[in-house]
């Protein structure tokens, strides 16, 4: 096992505090186990200024919590924490990562409507397989790992700082941040990043800042188009974001919207949070569930169900919504009676998938049926033709 030509430096202090969780794909079953339980905090890591040199020389990119990471060559193979980072790599025109936390939650069907962009994940590996094996990292042999090491150490019993150090020394560095959620206790002591901020960091790693800049321009224009369709504050609907397992859900894991990137489309559309001012506890605080009776007390105008992204819209209506319409209690919900129950979007979003799911969200909550971004322009950026 040889040391890669990638040297991670200034990793900062990473505290181990290991907790156990079950795993499940976003196929409608199980719990949203990407949201971790409370764990000890970490020491804040200062974030020095990035420095890059021509591609023939080494260059340094910085991101909290890992600090400075120096690359002696542009990475070719890589491993990603989740679909957020995987999608960023695709947006930069890179080959897909060799592995992600759960392949079932990297929803490559979002690319189907964009000619010239596609991903075959048939050979992609789940990092989480009844725990995460260090030996799997050796098998994948990625040039670097777009993974927040704190996420890895706090997900289950098994990883400590010594394991992180070993993988970095023998395979490749860690470089990532758990941008999708702001509910982790261990994430509170270092910097959060927005989607485009994290995307820029990865673009520096792959030395493809030209594609990032093109996407940043597209994203800015997209945000301007979104602002034009958002109604005045008093006319915005109140929605409840819930995790629902299976085709016939009887209980739900409630989410209070945060600034994590998994809520980006709803925050950008300025949707009101139906749970934020109720007694319903956020899933992060107690891992609790609510039933239809509790949901009826809130009676949100719109219900957004996570864990259903593997279904098409028609499949969702023919299973989950149909079940709720025939349910003794669920059928009394305003959202059910008005057919305002929808797939709630993924946990993970990158620059491409955010365009797709935000456009879909606009049609769900504001009945906007127009295309809000140029598909051919996305493909041109990905393929380096923009």
Q: What is the pLDDT of residues 314-360, one digit of tens each?
A: 999 999 999 999 999 999 999 999 999 999 999 999 999 999 999 99
Give the model's pLDDT for residue 27.
52
Single out the residue in 168, 183, 208 at which a domain terminates: 208
* pLDDT tens digits along 122-152: 999 999 998 899 999 999 999 999 999 999 9
**Contact criterion met (CB below 8 Å) for 348 and 180:** yes
**Cα 366 to the center of its chain, rounded Å:** 24
Matching residue, tokens 């990532």: 176
Q: Domain containing 169 — which CATH number?
A: 3.40.50.1980
Boundary of a domain, candidates 163, 185, 208:
208
Angstrom distance (rounded) from CA 139 to CA 142: 9
Q: Give dist(CA 230, CA 96) in Å, integer.
A: 35
Q: Among the residues of the chain, which ranges form H helices?
A: 83-91, 134-140, 149-155, 161-170, 195-205, 209-229, 264-268, 283-286, 292-298, 313-316, 322-326, 334-337, 351-366, 375-382
State the residue for tokens 């591609």: 55
Instruction: Give φ, ψ of 51 to 5 degrees.
Output: -135, 125
Residue 177's domain spans which residues? 6-208
- Closest by Cα among 289, 290, 306, 273 to 27: 306
pLDDT given at position 25: 52
Q: Are residue 169 and residue 245 in the same domain, yes or no?
A: no
For the chain, state the CA radius of gyration: 21
Q: Is residue 373 part of a domain?
A: yes
Assess whether 153 and 249 both reside in one domain: no
User: Residues in the chain, how many?
Assistant: 386
Whether pLDDT at 307 is above 80: yes
Taking all residues of the chain, what is their mean pLDDT, rounded to a whole number? Answer: 87
Q: Is residue 256 part of a domain?
A: yes
Of residues 4 and 139, the one with the higher pLDDT is 139
pLDDT of amino acid 151: 92
Residue-wise pLDDT for 373-382, tens only, equals 999 999 999 9
DSSP letters, 71-83, are ESS---SEEESSH
Domain assignment present for 298: yes
**5 SS3 class:** coil
Of the residues 147, 180, 208, which one is the last residue of a structural domain?
A: 208
Residue 250, domain member (yes or no): yes
Residues 245 and 193 in one domain: no
Mean pLDDT across 166-178: 96
Q: How do residues 190-223 score in pLDDT, each as one tens digit? A: 899 999 999 999 999 999 999 999 999 999 999 9
Tell me if 350 is assigned to some domain.
yes
- Give the mean model confidence (pLDDT) for residues 251-263: 92
Give yes or no for residue 23 having a pLDDT over 50. no
| Residues paired with residue 84 on neighbouring β-strands, in sequence order | none
The first and second tokens of residue 362, run together, are 């606009």
Model confidence band, residue 182 (pLDDT cutoffs 50, 70, 90): confident
pLDDT of residue 181: 87
Based on the domain organization, do 23 and 128 belong to the same domain? yes
Task: Kindly state whether residue 375 falls inside one of the protein's structural domains.
Answer: yes
Residues 242-269, mean pLDDT to the nearest whole number: 93
164 plus 266 within the same structural domain: no
CA–CA separation, 91 and 81 (whole Å): 16
0.95 exceeded by pTM: no
Per-residue confidence band for 2, with pLDDT thresholds at 50, 70 and 90? very low
Q: How far is CA 364 from CA 101, 110, 298, in A?
A: 29, 16, 20
At residue 35, the pLDDT reads: 44
**Mean pLDDT throughout 363-369?**
95
Nearest Cα to Cα of residue 250 among 302, 291, 297, 298: 291
Are 157 and 11 in contact, with CB atoms under 8 Å apart? no
Residue 11 CA, distance from chain mean position? 23
Characterize the bridge pairing of strands 272-273 and 125-126.
unpaired
Spatial strand order of the sheet with 6-8 comes to 6-8, 67-71, 59-63
What confidence score (pLDDT) does residue 32 get?
A: 65
* 10, pLDDT greater than 60: no
CA nearest to 182, candidates 194, 174, 170: 194
Nearest to 159 by CA among 86, 167, 77, 41: 167
If asked whether residues 114 and 247 sit together in one domain, one would say: no
The number of domains in the chain is: 2
Mean pLDDT of 277-297: 82
pLDDT the model gives residue 49: 43
Calculate mean pLDDT across residues 224-239.
Answer: 95
- Which residues fall within 8 angstroms of residue 289, CB to CB, at 6 or more apart? 251, 252, 253, 254
- Are residues 346 and 272 part of one domain? yes
Say whether both 175 and 267 belong to one domain: no
Angle at 223 between CA 200 and CA 268, to 5 degrees: 95
Report how far residue 149's alpha carbon sits from residue 151's, in angstroms, rounded to the nearest whole number. 5
pLDDT in tens, 31-80: 665 543 333 333 333 444 444 444 458 999 999 999 999 999 999 999 99
- The stretch 146-170 carries a mean pLDDT of 92
- Percentage of the chain beyond pLDDT 70 is 84
φ and ψ at 289, to 5 degrees?
-120, 160
Same domain, 180 and 304: no
Tokens for 216, please give them.
């940043």
185, part of any domain:
yes
Same domain, 183 and 318: no
Shared-domain flag, residues 67 and 172: yes
pLDDT reported for residue 46: 40
Residue at 214 is within a domain: no
- pLDDT, position 61: 98
Q: Answer yes or no: do 123 and 64 share one domain.
A: yes
């Amino acid at each position: 096992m040889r040391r890669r030509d990638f040297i991670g430096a200034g990793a900062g202090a990473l505290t181990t505090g290991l907790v156990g969780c079950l795993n499940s794909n976003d196929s409608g079953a199980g719990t949203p186990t990407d949201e971790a339980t409370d764990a000890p905090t970490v020491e804040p890591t200062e974030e020095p200024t990035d420095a890059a040199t021509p591609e023939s020389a080494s260059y340094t990119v910085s991101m909290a919590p890992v600090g400075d990471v120096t690359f002696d060559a542009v990475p070719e193979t890589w491993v990603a924490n989740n679909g957020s980072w995987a999608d960023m790599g695709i947006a930069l025109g890179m080959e897909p990562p060799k592995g992600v936390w759960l392949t079932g939650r990297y929803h490559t069907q979002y690319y189907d409507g964009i000619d010239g962009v596609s991903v075959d994940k048939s050979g992609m590996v789940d990092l989480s397989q009844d725990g995460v094996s260090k030996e799997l990292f050796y098998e994948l042999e990625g040039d670097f790992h777009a993974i927040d090491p704190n996420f890895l150490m706090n997900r289950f019993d098994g990883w400590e700082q010594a394991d992180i150090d070993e993988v970095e020394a023998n395979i490749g560095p860690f470089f990532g941040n758990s941008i999708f959620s702001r509910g982790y206790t261990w994430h509170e002591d270092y910097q959060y990043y927005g989607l485009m901020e994290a995307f820029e960091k990865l673009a520096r790693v792959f030395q493809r800042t030209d594609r990032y800049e093109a996407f940043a321009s597209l994203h800015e224009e997209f945000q301007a188009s979104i602002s034009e369709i958002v109604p005045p504050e008093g006319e915005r609907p109140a929605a409840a974001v819930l995790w629902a397992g299976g085709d016939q859900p009887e209980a739900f894991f409630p989410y209070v919207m945060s600034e994590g990137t998994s809520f980006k489309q709803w925050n950008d559309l300025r949707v009101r949070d139906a749970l934020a001012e109720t007694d319903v506890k956020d899933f992060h605080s107690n891992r609790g569930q609510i039933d239809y009776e509790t949901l009826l007390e809130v009676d949100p105008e719109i219900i957004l169900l996570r864990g259903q992204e593997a279904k098409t819209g028609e499949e969702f209506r023919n299973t989950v919504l149909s079940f709720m319409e025939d349910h003794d209690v669920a059928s009394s919900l305003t959202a059910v009676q008005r057919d305002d129950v929808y797939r709630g979007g993924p946990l993970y979003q990158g620059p491409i998938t955010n365009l797709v799911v935000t456009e879909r969200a606009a049609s769900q909550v504001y009945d906007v049926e127009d295309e809000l971004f140029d598909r051919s322009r996305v493909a041109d950026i990905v393929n380096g033709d923009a």
